[in-house]
Structure formats: structure tokens, C-alpha cells
Structure 1
């Protein structure tokens, strides 16, 4: 859940509010779903609680679309979602491993580490993620995304450069946000998994800081309006 995918935020836990009918789990009374859209919506619902989210062929369409969106955005192109099923390339998945579920209310996320081959493209290893926005016990929206190892590595390196450049980790608000989002532990020793966990925590801390800054600006605006 979304801010632009290719922002400086690492492996982010974005706002999963999507304008299309396919990716939302809201009431569909206003949306006439095609069979493909209905299948994708059912797959998103299944992945939220099902044990087969890592991995079943039923998610091939979602994976192909997520992979294509990531590829388009990496190349600076506008992503075209909801392509006809016939236009999606075939998907091969190997070495799929479930990652620990993450719950940061109102968001929850499940992810699967895997190697994929989409169409004629070279095989790529990364993370398929399913992110859900849940309020008052009701799922309001969902989003599927693909993060390649190359993307995770770049975000990790960018964050480390920021820290090594003299970031003041004792600054009160930053320190408070770091304390609010403790280290995401994982028993998986794969270095890329460790970097992905670091990236996710960095995003949560940044989001915390942005919220504090927005509140400060709001209070400042109210002060001047009142004055």
C-alpha cells in the first residue's frame, strides 16, 4: 500500500488502495467482473489465508502481472494492468519458499521467495508479495507485487549509504520511530532475505517519520489559520 513503486522507500508496505476493480476486495456491485478478473480476485482472497500462497499455479496470472508492472516501472514506462489473459506470458516457478507473515495494522503481508521465468525473459529471483488493507475486520483492498533481488539490493545499498553519510540515529523523532518498529527477525539465513527484512523496517521507519512531519505541518497550518 500506493505511493509510486519506484520511490526511495525500500521494500515498502504501501497503501494497497487500487483504483481498479480487480485488485480490490471491496463490494463488487459496481464492477462487472470478467472471468479473468473474477479468477484474480478469488486468487487474492485465497492468498490472504490459504496455505498454498507459496506456491500454486492459480497465482500465475497475478505473478505475471506483478512482474510486468515492476519491469515497466523499472524502465520508466507507465504500467498497463489488467491485460487480457491471452496477453500474459507463461510463468514457470521454482524454489518457492514461504516467508514469515508480517502484520502492521491496518496492513498485513504474505510473501514468497522464488525464482521465476516469465515468457522468454531470463530467470529472475525475488519476492512475490500479497499486501492487504484490513479495517474493522474487513479487507478493503489488496495488492500483488514483485520485488526482484536486484531491486532489494539497490534499496538496501541506498539506505546504507544514507546511514553511512552521517544520519543522526539519535535524533529524537527518528529514534522514537526506530523504537516503534523493532528489527524484523527471521530465522532464514539467506542474505537477501535479511536485506529484505532490513528494507521493510527502513520503510516503516520512514513512513513513521513522514506521518510525524505531516502532523507537524498540519498543526502549523492550524496555528496560522487560527491566528
Structure 2
């Protein structure tokens, strides 16, 4: 059984884009040595099993994870709408059941030390309203051990909004002569995604854009570090 770390407070997840932030948002799993309820134990066991289960996208054992992830996403949207509202720390609680009407597994994504699995779903919520989106499982793996894991729900609405934001940034103009930008684009080529689903295509594009932006930010931070060291030691 892999080791899991305990969270303090969940950061707002972002479809695919928070793949490389899982170490900072590692919540959802109980701390070692802390007493857990049977429901929590079942939840954490399912989260661990989803990493290797070939049927993770279709099995009812993951309904609770899906329901909890959707509830957490809705709470995060409420936080965004009312940033001054005080919210308690997110903790595991049994939630209302949801019904999966369609499900298809996306290709696994490995960007060491992170590994992610995603399922494309259409969900019938308790109020009867259908909602489509992605349920993702992200794992931080070091030396073959799972250090932390995170489940997230990203609705089609969220994916479309973030895609539109990225397209506006691109249309505003990019300096394609920037050597750092060229290097980052080359480092993260387009994903081989045979899906005809426009939402899957947007999600894949959104992930690549995030990786390129993060690469650029890392290069800028490294340059700042070198500059600081130069002036400190001159």
C-alpha cells in the first residue's frame, strides 16, 4: 500500500493544468497515524486503486470519489464568486450519489514525477441535471512510491472558459522570436490525441499551454536567481 501525505487546505483545481501543482494541493488523503472512519478508509483505498485499475472509469467503487470531487469543484466556484466568504477547510464527507450515463477513459499521462489518469464523463446529478466533464486522478510518485494523490472534477464549462482565456492571450500576440518560448514549445509538443471530442481537444490544448507557461516561468525565475546571485557575490 503506498504512503500518502495529509493536506492542510485544498487549492482550487484546474482541469489538467494542476497536474504539476499536485504536490501543493495534495489533499484528499488521510494522514498516516490518524484515525479514519470506515468511509474514509474506503475512499482512500479507492483513490489508491484507481492508479492501476483498468476499469477505473467505469466501476461504481469510484462513485463516491466522483461525487466528492464535484462537490469540491462547486465549492471552489462559490469561493471564486465570493472571495471574501469564509469557508471551512475541505474534508471528506459522504455526498449525494451521482449516476454516470457515459464514460470513456482518456490516455494516461506521465510527466515524472507526476502521473495522471482521466475519465470523460456525463453525470446525472441528484437534481436531475446532466453535467459533462473530466474526473482526473493525479499522483506524485517518487522512487516508486506514491507520495500523494488528488482527485478533481473539471466540467466542460470550466474547460471552455480556460480555453477561451488562453486563445485570447495567444491572439493578443506572442513573441515567437523569444528563444525561451521556442525552447518550451519544443519541450512540450502537441499531444497525440485521436479523439474527435472538441472538449478533449480543448483540454489537451489547455494542458500544453499550461506546461509551456510554467516552463517560461521557471526559466524567468532561474534567470532572476542567477542575477541575484551575481549581485550578492560580486
CA distance in 2, matches of 1:79, 1:209: 35
CA contact (8 A) 2:136 2:153 kept: yes
Aligned with 1:161 (options 138, 156, 168): 168
CA distance in 1, matches of 2:49, 2:93: 21
| 1:89-104 alignment runs, 5 A limit | 89-104=96-111
Does structure 1 residue 124 correspond to structure 2 residue 131? yes
- Secondary structure in 1 aligned to 2:193? coil
Aligned with 1:207 (options 211, 214, 218): 214
CA contact (8 A) 1:127 1:147 kept: yes
CA distance in 2, matches of 1:146, 1:157: 19
CA distance in 1, matches of 2:145, 2:34: 19
CA distance in 2, matches of 1:13, 1:173: 22
CA distance in 1, matches of 2:13, 2:175: 25
TM-score, structure 2 as length reference: 0.85
- What value does the CA root-mean-square deviation take over the aligned residues? 2.2
What does residue 225 of structure 1 align with?
232
| Aligned-pair CA distance for 1:166 | 0.9
Provide closer, same or farther for how the CA distance between residues 52 and 10 of structure 1 changes in structure 2, counting only shifts above 3 A.
closer
Q: Which runs of 5+ in 1 are unaligned?
A: none
What does residue 23 of structure 1 align with?
29
Q: Which runs of 5+ in 2 are unaligned?
A: 1-8
- Secondary structure in 2 aligned to 1:58? helix
CA distance in 2, matches of 1:171, 1:4: 32
Does structure 1 residue 65 correspond to structure 2 residue 68? yes
What does residue 82 of structure 1 align with?
91
| Aligned-pair CA distance for 1:19 | 5.9
- Secondary structure in 1 aligned to 2:21? coil
More displaced, 106-115 or 169-178?
169-178
Q: How many correspondences in the alignment?
A: 219
| Aligned-pair CA distance for 1:208 | 1.0
CA contact (8 A) 1:110 1:129 kept: yes
What does residue 51 of structure 2 align with?
48
| Aligned-pair CA distance for 1:120 | 1.6
TM-score, structure 1 as length reference: 0.88
Provide closer, same or farther for how the CA distance between residues 6 and 205 of structure 1 changes in structure 2, counting only shifts above 3 A.
same
| Aligned-pair CA distance for 1:14 | 3.3
- Secondary structure in 2 aligned to 1:13? helix
CA distance in 2, matches of 1:19, 1:49: 19
| Aligned-pair CA distance for 1:15 | 2.3
Provide closer, same or farther for how the CA distance between residues 120 and 154 of structure 1 changes in structure 2, counting only shifts above 3 A.
same
CA contact (8 A) 2:72 2:90 kept: yes
